[in-house]
Chain A
Amino acid sequence: MDITLNHYLFAAGFLFILGLFGVVVRRDLLTVYMSLEMMLNAANLTLVAFSRFNKVLDGQIMVFFIITVAAAEVAVGLALIVALYRARQTTKVTDLTTLKF
C-alpha cells in the first residue's frame, strides 16, 4: 500500500484533534499548554507534507519559522504561568475564575 498525501494529512488531523480534546478537557494549565504545542506540531506536519508533495521548499521554511516562534511563545507562556502561580498559588483553570461572570 502506497502512502499518499492524504495519509499524512489524516495523521496530522488526528494529532490536532487530540490537542483540541486536551485543551477542552484538561484543567491543569501546564497540560493545556502541552496540548497547544501538539496542535502546533500537527500544523507543522501538514506544512511539511504539502511541501514534499508539491516539490517546493517554502513550506519547510514556514515550519522553521513556526518552530522558532513556538519556542519564544513557550518561554513567555511559562513565565506567565510562573507569575500566575506566584500570585495565586495554583495552576488549575477551575481556580482562576476572576474574569468569569
Chain B
Amino acid sequence: MEALFFWVFAVGMLLSGLSVVINRNPVASALSLVVSMCFLAALFVTLGAFFLATVQVLVYAGAVMVLFLFIIMLLDVKSEEHVRLRWMSFLLGLALAVFFSYELSLVLRGVPQGGATLSSIPQAGGGLLDDTRELGRLLFTKYLLPFQVVGVLLLVATVGVVLLSRKDEGKPGVK
C-alpha cells in the first residue's frame, strides 16, 4: 500500500514538474508547479511529516504560487509560442541532465541502506500525528536562536520588498 502511494505521488510530482519546464505559457507552468507541490506534500505525508506537508501546501502551493500568478498577470507575460527553440541551450541542458542522472545513480549506489524500508522503521515522533508537538518542542528549545533570526529575516525581506516595489517620487538618480 505504501509502495503504491509512493509511486503514484512520485510519478505525479515528476510529470507535473516536467510540465512546468516544457509548457510555453507561464500561467500553465505556474499551475503545474502548484500540482507538483501538492504531490510533494503528499510524499511528505508518506514520510510521516504531517506538519511539513501542511506548511508546504499553505506556504508554497498557497502563498508563494499566488504571488507568482499575481506577478505573471501583472506583468502580462507573453507565452513563448513564436520563439524558436535554441538548440545550443537545449543540448546543454540535456547534457547536464544526463550527466546529473549518471552521477545520481553512481552516488546513490553507495548509500548504505541497511535493509531499512518505510514500513520497518518506526516514526521519529513515536506515533501518528505526533511530529507537530516534537517539532514545536525542538523549535523553541534547541533551535530558538535560528527561529528568531528567521523572524528578523522576514522583517528585513518585508522592508526590502516595500522599498523595491514602491514608485520613486521626485528622487533624482534612482530609477
Contacts and interface: CB of A to CB of B under 8 A. Distances in A.
Interface in B91-105: 92-94, 96-97, 100-101, 104
A24 B96 CA distance: 9
A8 B44 CA distance: 10
Indicate the size class of the contact surface on chain B: 35 or more
B122 interface: yes
Interface SS, A side: helix
B13 A11 contact: yes
Contacts of A51: 47, 49, 124
Interface string A2-26: 1111111111011111111110111
A5 B116 CA distance: 8
A78 B111 contact: no
B4 to A, nearest CB: 10
A46 to B, nearest CB: 11
16 contacts: A5-B113, A11-B10, A15-B14, A34-B68, A35-B20, A37-B33, A52-B124, A67-B55, A68-B59, A69-B150, A70-B64, A71-B64, A71-B154, A72-B154, A75-B157, A91-B77
Interface of A: 1-11, 13-22, 24-28, 30-31, 33-35, 37-38, 41, 44-45, 48-49, 51-53, 55-58, 60-61, 63-65, 67-76, 78-83, 85, 87, 91
